[in-house]
Chain A
Amino acid sequence: MSKIGLMGMLTATLCTFACADIKVEVPNICNTSQVGTIYPSYQKVTTLQTTVDVSQEVDQIQKTFDQLYIKLTSLDVTADQDLSWLQDMKITIDGGTASAPNVTLATYQPGTGDPGMSLPIKLMMDANTLFEYLSQPITLTFTITGSPPSEPANFTSSFCVDLTGEINK
């Protein structure tokens, strides 16, 4: 038997007793943040900004796992009143660095029916890129177009991801 073959067998035998191969699955971790309030006195086009900082958690996750798989399961913008007055919404994400520039994250365009209090958002970014953005504090800017409502509308945004990590030591 060659030396390489013998070393391979020894390594495999040692690994049987000493290697760890762990898979962690965490479904539906969600981050919710208050976006802001649209008041009746506002202009037809209004921007709201919110800062999200989960960079420490993301850093911890990245250090823990050798392989990481992220799947975005939902992205919602909700309000505390009916949003039929809202004509258009664009959400941009800005990491404030060259590797995480200001780009469009998601858009909303009304369909035929009344959206109710929750907007179906179309995501323009894949989950892995979003995860890279989240490794630093990000600023989400919501550009909202529509005749301001008669009552103040408080907006909340949330996104959920399925996280699967593997540790191979």
Chain B
Amino acid sequence: MRKGITTLASVALLCMSANALAQEQHPLRLGFGMDLGVPSGITLGLVIHPTVDWLSIQTSLSFNGLAPGMRLGVKLDPVAHVLPDSVLGLLLEVQGGFACYGTIPGHASDMPTIGYEYVNLYGGVRFGKVNRFHWIFEVGPSHVNFNIMNFSNFMNSQFGLTTAAGSTPTVNGWIPTFITGFEVVWP
């Protein structure tokens, strides 16, 4: 009995996979996405599904409240490979990006100017069909590298300390981060 069920399940999975393979090849699909998170800030980008829906590339412009930046992401959606019409997906994504140097408006002289680069290693979920509107939520570790300019003025005004000329403090390491937002892909 158990052997029969296993065989049936295997056949069903094979059929589903064959069906998925038959369906998944398509011309280039385009869309757009918008998300909010740390460290990228708010982003708006172009989403590309290059002939398959389980792989997507997103290139985005970002704004972190201080300065603009850019982000590039490559995302895998294994569920979309097996079940193309599933409204739920599991995501694996690698993102890399940067934010230009920015400072708090009105404090250009007494606050430091901060710019950074980052790499996000995310796992997440998708709600909605992969080739329609869907919402995503992703979390994971990010490697960030902050560079701080105009530090000498800040240290002097806040603490009465000075820094040597050309001294640029750096902050780097791993922090937990997230993004959440939506994507719309034209079928």
Give A residues with C-beta under 8 Å from B: 16-32, 54, 57, 160, 167
Contacts and interface: CB of A to CB of B under 8 A. Distances in A.
A20 B159 contact: no
Contacts of A57: 159, 161
B159 A23 contact: no
A23 B174 CA distance: 9
B95 to A, nearest CB: 15
Interface residues of B, number: 22
Chain B binding surface, main DSSP class: strand
19 contacts: A16-B141, A17-B123, A17-B140, A17-B141, A17-B176, A18-B176, A19-B141, A20-B176, A21-B173, A21-B175, A22-B174, A23-B173, A26-B151, A27-B163, A27-B164, A27-B168, A28-B163, A28-B167, A30-B161
A17 B174 contact: no
Contacts, number: 63
B5 interface: no
Interface of B: 123, 139-141, 151, 155, 159-164, 167-176
Contact of B170 (A19, A24, A31, A54): A24
A24 to B, nearest CB: 5
B169 A26 contact: yes
Nearest to B169: A26
Contacts of A21: 173-175
Contacts of A32: 162
Contacts of B141: 16-17, 19
A47 B169 CA distance: 37
